[in-house]
């Protein structure tokens, strides 16, 4: 790549200045350094923490409002309907209307509820939801706290959500809430295992537990981890969407089975808080998938031209769309299917890849191979292994043939659902259902 020397040096001269929009942390750094000049250290660190938290909340609050609209609109497209389109232009103000409705609603509490524990969860669930954002690197120097145990911190903080969900479900004193909570807890602690193992491959291979360090390793070796460890990426994606209670795995709030799961008894804004945190967690998990497996704020030199946080946001959006896609496409799984998939498929597969990562890392170090040659070879081997594992899984878990194969005898089964729907629509002279565009 030719070095765009002139432009880079011009941009480089603004590095560290507060108006440098490529590094939004500069302003905070300036303020804390200014306070540290005249004030005590503890005041500077408290101010830094408050500024970081405010920054996070200021970003995710409005983003959530937009995300609610985006998710409902995209899901509607998947299901061939329009989605919210009444409030504001193209329904953009629908989330605001929803929020106002939720705030105005009465907040009920069951008489038999355990009062203290019932009131705490909507507040407590915010704590891990906000804390996780703290270790997300938006750029080379742009994270609230670049811990050297960042990966472990991420796992620890996301693990505490389970407890809050249990508190919510148990204290409601409602059969369905307790069912939902127990399902959520059982599923979270099961899916935490493949999640940890998938991240362990990255930690082993890059030799660091700092999240920014993992991104910098990918930048240094010019490779993104989804090419090196595709199965870990797939397993992490599944495990994360299970931990998030999203539709293919939302058995803990399956409305056809157990009303609304652990937040059955929460009304008004208390439910709104649960909902908001769930969406925020989805966003942060897509950001972490982008960071771990897609290179985060780095994209083959593009980060010299475009602010790094915009690159991360675009990647996050892509992963988020993938999450919406799975939600819109796949039906809900049963409890035993989910558990079986975790323990019989994901855990052995990720364990295999931990071993593979150990072997390859040891070979790289002890043999002193040239990484520009060795890494592509390893990537090819790992992709082949991944495909083999997926084919093997498909073979083994093929559904058993029915004893009496039944032919579908429904009228119009030969033409696909879409064409049938179009025919019906044109026959009844209603506005034509359009699939693409608006």
Residue from 27, 130, 157, 425 touching other proteins (CB under 8 A): that is 157
Among 9, 329, 362, 397, binds other proteins (CB under 8 A): 397
**Between residues 193 and 310, which has the closer beta carbon with respect to other proteins?**
193
As a whole number of Å, the CA-based R_g of the chain is 24
Judge whether 246 and 327 are in contact, CB under 8 Å. Answer: yes
| 344 lines the binding site for other proteins (CB under 8 A) | yes
Shortest separation between residue 325's beta carbon and other proteins, angstroms = 26
* Contact yes or no for 205/361 (Cβ under 8 A): yes
DSSP secondary structure string, 217-230? HHHHHT--HHHH-H
Minimum distance, C-beta of residue 158 to other proteins, in the bound complex (Å):
8
Q: Which is nearer to other proteins, 100 or 189 (CB)?
A: 189
User: Which tokens in the block code for residue 67?
Assistant: 């995300």
Contact flag: residue 426 with other proteins (CB under 8 A) = no
Q: Helix 25-38 crosses helix 41-78 at what angle (to 10 degrees)? A: 160
Distances (CA, A) of 213 to 30, 171, 292, 317: 24, 41, 10, 23
In the complex, least distance from residue 210 CB atom to other proteins, rounded to whole angstroms: 9
CA end-to-end span of the chain, whole Å? 40
Nearest distance from C-beta of residue 430 to other proteins, angstroms: 41
Q: Which of 13, 45, 423, 426 binds other proteins (CB under 8 A)?
A: 45
Q: According to CB under 8 A, which one of 59, 76, 97, 182 is a site residue for other proteins?
A: 182
Asked if 153 touches other proteins (CB under 8 A), the answer is: yes
Q: Please report how close the Cβ of residue 363 comes to other proteins at its closest, in angstroms.
A: 18
Q: Per CB under 8 A, which region of 16-24, 27-35, 154-162, 291-299 contacts other proteins?
A: 154-162
Q: Is 320 in the site for other proteins (CB under 8 A)?
A: no
Nearer to other proteins, 398 or 407 (CB): 398
- Smallest distance from other proteins to CB 163, Å: 6
Does 64 bind other proteins (CB under 8 A)? Our answer is no
Beta carbon of residue 67, minimum distance to other proteins (angstroms, whole number): 27
Looking up tokens 């592509």 gives 376
CA distances from 71 to 75, 107, 219 (A): 6, 26, 32
Inter-residue contact 357 to 230 (CB < 8 Å): no
Closest CB to other proteins among 400 and 435?
400
Do 195 and 243 meet the contact criterion of CB atoms below 8 Å apart?
yes
75 part of the interface to other proteins, by CB under 8 A: no
Q: What is the DSSP string of 250-312?
A: -GGG-HHHHTTGGGTT--THHHHHHHHHHHHHHHHHHHHHHHHHS-TT--TTGGGTS-HHHHH
Place of tokens 């910098």: 216
434 scored as a contact of other proteins (CB under 8 A): no
Q: Which of residues 14-43 bind other proteins (CB under 8 A)?
A: 40-43
Contacting residue, 13, 148, 371, 372, with other proteins by CB under 8 A: 148
CA distance 387 to 231: 9
Tell me the closest approach of the beta carbon of residue 21 to other proteins, in angstroms.
32
Query: Could you tell me the CA-to-CA distances from 227 to 196, 314, 315, 386 in Å, in that order?
Result: 19, 19, 15, 11
CA–CA dist 4, 102 (Å, integer):
52
Residue in 68, 113, 185, 277 binding other proteins, rule: CB under 8 A: 185
Q: Which stretch binds other proteins (CB under 8 A): 51-59, 161-169, 369-377, 417-425?
A: 161-169
The Cα 280–Cα 270 span in angstroms is: 15
Count of residues that interact with other proteins, criterion CB under 8 A: 35
Structure tokens at 200: 């362990």
Burial class (CB in 10 A: 0-12, 13-18, 19+), 205: buried
281/308 with CB nearer other proteins: 281
**Does the footprint of other proteins cover residue 147 (CB under 8 A)?**
yes
Interacting residue ranges for other proteins, rule: CB under 8 A: 40-43, 45-46, 114, 117, 147-149, 152-153, 155-157, 159-160, 162-163, 166-167, 170, 182, 185, 189, 192, 209, 336, 340, 344, 397-400
């Amino acid at each position: 790549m030719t070095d765009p020397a002139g432009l880079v040096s011009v941009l480089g001269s603004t590095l560290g200045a507060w108006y440098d929009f490529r590094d939004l942390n500069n302003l905070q750094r300036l303020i804390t350094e200014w306070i540290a000049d005249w004030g005590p250290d503890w005041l500077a660190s408290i101010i830094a923490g408050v500024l970081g938290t405010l920054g996070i909340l200021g970003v995710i609050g409005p983003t959530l409002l937009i995300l609610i609209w985006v998710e409902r609109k995209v899901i509607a497209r998947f299901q061939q309907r329009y989605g919210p389109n009444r409030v504001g232009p193209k329904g953009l103000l629908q989330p605001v209307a929803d929020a106002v409705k939720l705030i105005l609603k009465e907040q009920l509490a069951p008489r038999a509820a355990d009062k203290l524990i019932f009131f705490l969860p909507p507040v407590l669930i915010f704590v891990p939801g906000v804390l996780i954002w703290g270790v997300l690197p938006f750029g080379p120097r742009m994270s609230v706290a670049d811990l050297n145990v960042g990966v472990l911190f991420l796992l620890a903080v996301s693990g505490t959500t389970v407890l809050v969900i249990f508190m919510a479900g148990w204290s409601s004193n409602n059969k369905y809430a307790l069912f939902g909570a127990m399902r959520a807890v059982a599923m979270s602690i099961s899916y935490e295992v493949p999640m940890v193992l998938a991240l362990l491959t990255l930690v082993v291979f890059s030799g660091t537990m700092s999240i920014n360090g993992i991104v910098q390793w990918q930048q240094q070796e010019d490779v993104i981890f989804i090419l090196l460890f595709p199965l870990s990426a797939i397993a992490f994606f599944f495990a994360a969407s299970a931990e998030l209670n999203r539709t293919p795995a939302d058995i803990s709030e399956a409305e056809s089975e157990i009303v609304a799961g652990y937040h059955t008894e929460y009304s008004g804004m208390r439910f709104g808080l649960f909902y908001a945190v769930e969406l925020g967690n989805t966003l942060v998990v897509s950001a972490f998938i982008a960071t771990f497996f897609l290179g985060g704020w780095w994209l083959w030199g593009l980060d010299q031209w475009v602010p790094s946080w915009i690159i991360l946001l675009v990647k996050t959006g892509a992963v988020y769309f993938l999450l919406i896609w799975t939600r819109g496409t796949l039906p809900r799984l049963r409890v035993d299917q989910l558990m079986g998939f975790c323990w019989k498929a994901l855990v052995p597969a990720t364990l295999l890849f931990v071993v593979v990562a150990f072997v390859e890392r040891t070979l790289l170090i002890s043999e002193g191979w040239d990484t520009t040659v060795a890494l592509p070879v390893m990537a090819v081997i790992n992709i082949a292994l991944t495909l083999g594992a997926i084919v093997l899984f498909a073979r083994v878990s093929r559904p058993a043939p029915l004893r009496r194969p039944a032919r579908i005898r429904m009228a119009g089964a030969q033409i696909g659902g879409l064409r049938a729907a179009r025919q019906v629509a044109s026959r009844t002279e209603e506005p034509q259902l359009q699939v693409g565009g608006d």
